[in-house]
Amino acid sequence: MTGNVFVWLNDPLNWTGTRFQAGIIDQIGAHLWYTVIALVISGVIGFPLGLFIGHTGRGTWLVSVANGLRALPTIGLLILLYVMVSPLISGRGDAVYLVPTEIVLVLLALPAILANTYAGVRNVEPAVRDAARGMGMTDRQVLWQVELPNAMPLVFSGVRSAALQVIATATIAAYVGLEGLGRFVYDGLASRDFAQMAGGAVLVAALALVVDLVLALVQRYSVSRGVTGRFSRRAVHSDSREATITELEAAEELSSP
């Protein structure tokens, strides 16, 4: 069976596609496109909101609400929204699948980005903030020049965690009919073409790993080394798992008076 997967992945026709089926390259493109849309929308909403809530300490209930969304089963939400929205959308193209999927993807990515941006700003040591104020920095300068750079590692783990969840869920969206790499998984399963199914799974896993790696590199070169201690003995190591823990800690801190 393992052999068949390699045969499937090695067939150039599977990569370029035929008239009847989209190829791997197109599906990777589609998958990334869905991911980028969701991340951009949630970033545009979640990042400034997280900065504002973290800086002013106002509206923390929003972070709690966002965290509460975690208990919702994504696949259930996806099917619910699809069933609800699809009769309202007519016309050609994949908008019927895309709109409900993107709503779910944004609902997934938003809590990770919002809660981590909030926690990042919140976790800046008070002494650092006081020092900045003592040096005569304005409120705005404190936010942009002190709190934001210090919050960057957590902001990035939030983005990485969001990206992974979005990629994983975009795969499942193929179940309701969206394109993307999940197509191979569900089509393979339906036609009992297990090489195609496992090949799709390999590609999804590879895509997730590559995207996480790229974001880790961006993080490495955009977070101040004064914050990460990259050139000092004890470097701060952060990855996408940190986001999930941080979210819960933030939620706990908010729920306890």
CA 160 to the chain's CA centroid: 6
Q: Which residues pair with 47 in a beta bridge?
A: none
Q: Spell out the residues 6+ positions from residue 5 whose beta carbon is closer than 8 angstroms to its own.
A: 195, 198, 199, 202
Considering the complex, state which of residue 76 and residue 229 has its C-beta at the smaller distance from another protein.
76
Considering the complex, state which of residue 141 and residue 244 has its C-beta at the smaller distance from another protein.
244
Considering the complex, state which of residue 74 and residue 117 has its C-beta at the smaller distance from another protein.
74
Nearest-approach distance from CB 27 to another protein, in angstroms:
14
CA distance 68 to 70: 5
Considering the complex, state which of residue 51 and residue 67 has its C-beta at the smaller distance from another protein.
67
Nearest-approach distance from CB 233 to another protein, in angstroms:
12
CA distance 253 to 257: 8
CA distance 177 to 65: 30
The residue ranges that bind another protein (CB under 8 A) are 1-2, 5, 70-77, 79-80, 82-84, 87, 164, 167-168, 171-172, 175-176, 182, 185-186, 189, 194, 197-198, 201-202, 204-205, 208-209, 212, 237, 239-241, 244-245, 247-249, 252
Nearest-approach distance from CB 180 to another protein, in angstroms:
12
Q: Spell out the residues 6+ positions from residue 25 whose beta carbon is closer than 8 angstroms to its own.
A: 15, 16, 17
Residue listed under structure tokens 């409120």? 139
CA 168 to the chain's CA centroid: 9
Considering the complex, state which of residue 83 and residue 135 has its C-beta at the smaller distance from another protein.
83
CA distance 59 to 57: 7
Q: Spell out the residues 6+ positions from residue 203 whose beta carbon is closer than 8 angstroms to its own.
A: 9, 24, 27, 28, 181, 184
Nearest-approach distance from CB 12 to another protein, in angstroms:
23
Nearest-approach distance from CB 60 to another protein, in angstroms:
19
Considering the complex, state which of residue 118 and residue 143 has its C-beta at the smaller distance from another protein.
118
Nearest-approach distance from CB 189 to another protein, in angstroms:
6
